[in-house]
Amino acid sequence: MNRTQSIPQSVAIPRFGSDAAPLDFDVAIAGAGIVGLTLACALKDSGLRVALIEAKPRTAGLQQRRAYHLSLMTGQIFQGLGVWSQILPHITTFHQIRLADAEHPTVVDLRPEDLGTEQLGYVGEHGVLVQALLDSLDGSDRVTWLCPATVVGVEYQDEAASVSLQMGDRTHLIQTRLLVAADGSRSPLRQQAGIKTHGWQYWQSCVTAVIRPEKSHESIAREHFWESGPFATLPLPDNRCQIVLTAPHDEAKQWATVPEQAFLAELDRRYGGQLGQLELEGDRLLFPVQLMQSDRYVLPRLALVGDAAHCCHPVGGQGLNLGIRDAAALAQVIQRAQQRGEDWGKLAVLRRYERWRKFENLTILGFTDLLDRSFSSSWRSLIKLRRLGLWGMRSLRPLKFLALCLMTGMSGRRPKIAHNSPRASRSRIKL
């Protein structure tokens, strides 16, 4: 039985291309953000015909001013994709994570020897990651860009999905064996397919900004917990820092709009003056945060990846890493089905991806929610309990190890492409 969403019935829709084959693409990816680009890179040498559908111009992502924590697993996946050598010189590698609770003197420093690795993670800017992925796709005759283009309707059939695209003033129709929704947390494709989600909006919003401290950030990633919410500092190249200040909505709006000097004075108070005079580079951005898990990651001919499937609190910087791991896992499932002569758009095949990623993502969603709720509280009994937890993490090596496995992405099932990475053999964790 066909599932149809918003296919315009009053106009004749031409097929994409004058000599279009009965099936235009093997995989069509709606959304060319970092997760969608990662999936395309993972499939570009598979022999499959891949389409990238993006509403914005191809290079729009190069202008986005945002930075991310990149886990060790993400580094291994990018190494396996062949883009890591281009990314690594332009990002920061950190060898220390510092955890603190408000003004309490107990500070936990996590180091590579606690995990048995050479480093603990990386911080990369959006444009650096996008440029490397775009360069990897350049010249590929198996990847077709359809942009600017917007999906205006989909009909899911037994053998293919028929996708209606608005490109300029014309509407085109393509057919694909599998449609992948990499179109963000408000995913129109997820909503049109009737996939429900569970979760909640937090009482908090985040203010992000880039600052330049007078003193060296020493390549330390900091997570400082306050009763209003976590305050993260991610070290960037050229002694810059990406800060993520989480607070209740009204307070966050205040910090996003107060005069620059008042904002920097608040940051200096939170640092205890340890970084010296601070300068603000660029604008402050404000966004609300949510936890969301889709009931299903797949339907026949449809798969969700990244924020279209799940969202978590930004504490710990796990969101993008989960999406990149989704992309690597889905690419592996597709290629394994291809090798076996199976139809990778069938529900039985796509459920292998869902079983792989859904529980692992839920674990991280729960971990980040627990961290935020435990440390964003003025309840005295909980304050004592969390400070006992910090003491235990500082004193008990197994507790450090388990926490770092979650933070670095080294727990759970490893995608094959990460196994192929030379870096993987030096950073493999046995649980």
SS3 of the chain: CCEEECCCCCCCCCECCCCCCCCCEEEEEECCCHHHHHHHHHHCCCCCCEEEECCCCCCHHHHCCCEEEECHHHHHHHHHHCCHHHHHHHCEEECEEEEEECCCCCEEEECHHHCCCCCCEEEEEHHHHHHHHHHHHCCCCCEEEECCCEEEEEEECCCCEEEEEEECCEEEEEEEEEEEECCCCCCHHHHHCCCCEEEEEEEEEEEEEEEEECCCCCCEEEEEEECCEEEEEEEEHHHEEEEEEEEEHHHHHHHHHCCHHHHHHHHHHHHCCCCCCEEEEEEEEEEEEEEEEECCCEECCEEECHHHCEECCCCCCCHHHHHHHHHHHHHHHHHHHHHCCCCCCCHHHHHHHHHHHHHHHHHHHHHHHHHHHHHCCCCHHHHHHHHHHHHHHHHCHHHHHHHHHHHHCCCCCCCHHHHCCHHHHHCCCCC
Dihedral (Cα; 419, 424, 426, 430), 10-degree rounding: -70
pLDDT of residue 420: 61
Instruction: Give the separation between CA 64 and CA 398, rounded to whole angstroms.
Output: 39
First-to-last C-alpha distance (Å) of the chain: 44
Full strand arrangement of the beta sheet holding 220-226: 107-110, 96-101, 220-226, 229-236, 240-248, 197-213, 278-294, 310-311
pLDDT (tens, 9 = 90+) of the chain, 431 residues, equals: 455 444 333 334 455 554 444 469 999 999 999 999 999 999 999 999 999 999 999 888 888 889 999 999 999 999 999 999 999 999 999 999 999 887 777 788 999 999 999 999 999 999 999 999 999 999 899 999 999 999 999 999 999 999 999 999 999 999 999 999 999 999 999 999 999 999 999 999 999 999 999 999 999 999 998 888 999 999 999 999 999 999 999 999 999 999 999 999 999 999 989 999 999 999 999 999 999 999 999 999 999 999 999 999 999 899 999 999 999 999 999 999 999 999 999 999 999 999 999 999 999 999 899 888 887 767 777 777 777 777 777 777 888 898 899 889 998 899 999 976 555 444 444 33
pLDDT score for 15: 57
Q: What is residue 123's predicted lDDT score, i.e. its pLDDT?
A: 97
Q: Distance between CA 198 and CA 281 in Å, rounded? A: 37
Sorted by where each begins, the domain ranges of the chain are 3-64+128-198+294-373
Residue 107: the pLDDT is 86
DSSP 8-state secondary structure symbol assigned to residue 47: T
| Preceding peptide of 148 cis, ω within 30° | yes
Residues 6+ apart with CB under 8 A from 288: 201, 202, 204, 205, 206, 249
Could you say which DSSP state residue 15 is in?
Answer: B
Six token digits for residue 204:
């908090």
Beta pairing class for 197-213 and 278-294: antiparallel
CATH topology of domain 3-64+128-198+294-373: FAD/NAD(P)-binding domain (3.50.50)
